[in-house]
Amino acid sequence: MRETRELLNTPFPLPDDAARAASAVMMSGLFEINCQTVSLQLLEQCEAAALVDEKLKAHSLLGYCKLNGICFDKNAEAGFALTKNVAEAEHETAIFNLGVCYARGTVVKVNFREAFRWYRKAAEAGETVAMLNLGACYQGGTGVEADSEEEARS
């Protein structure tokens, strides 16, 4: 949180190296502060830094923000594309978020089998919320045949 507040007081534009190094911290920080108090200039800098950053966390958070209209205008298509790219690069939170997109029909048609597939992959990577969703899928037979034994293991 302190790092985020320090970045908010940094003059613009941030040097490229600083922007890249700070992007994940800045994206995480957006969840810790009231986004309405963040300047458009900071959001643009944060977005640009996340897009050039090699850290999957920054890309994953940016995708989530765009999918849900958090701090940025909602752009489900751009958010889905970012999320899918990061999920395919094996980032567990993005993998889970992609499952949510398929379960809710965000940009794609609702596809519970595909949602289940991504939830399972995220759960195997250690994403705890995905484990809960996977158990619910087994319990209700959503995207998979109902299986009370598998539900208990999830």
pTM here is: 0.70
Cα-to-chain-centroid distance, residue 41:
22
For position 101, what pLDDT does the model report? Answer: 97
DSSP string, 96-149: HHHHHHHHHTSSS---HHHHHHHHHHHHHTT-HHHHHHHHHHHHHTSSS---HH
For position 39, what pLDDT does the model report? Answer: 61
Helix, coil or strand: residue 31: coil
Would you say 58 and 27 are in contact if contact means Cβ atoms under 8 Å apart? Answer: yes
Closest CA to 79 of 54, 104, 113: 104
For position 147, what pLDDT does the model report? Answer: 61
Q: How far apart are CA 73 and CA 22, in angstroms?
A: 22
For position 40, what pLDDT does the model report? Answer: 67
For position 140, what pLDDT does the model report? Answer: 86
DSSP string, 19-30: HHHHHHHHHHHH
For position 149, what pLDDT does the model report? Answer: 62
Amino acid at 103: A
Helices 92-104, 128-140: axis angle to 10 degrees equals 30
For position 4, what pLDDT does the model report? Answer: 43
All structural domains of the chain? 90-154 (1.25.40.10)
How many alpha carbons fall within 13 Å on the CB side of residue 45?
23
For position 148, what pLDDT does the model report? Answer: 56
Per-residue pLDDT tens, the chain, 154 aa: give them: 344 444 444 444 444 444 444 554 555 565 555 555 556 666 676 677 666 666 787 788 888 888 988 777 889 999 999 999 999 999 999 999 999 999 999 999 999 999 999 999 999 999 999 999 988 888 888 888 766 565 455 5
For position 20, what pLDDT does the model report? Answer: 44
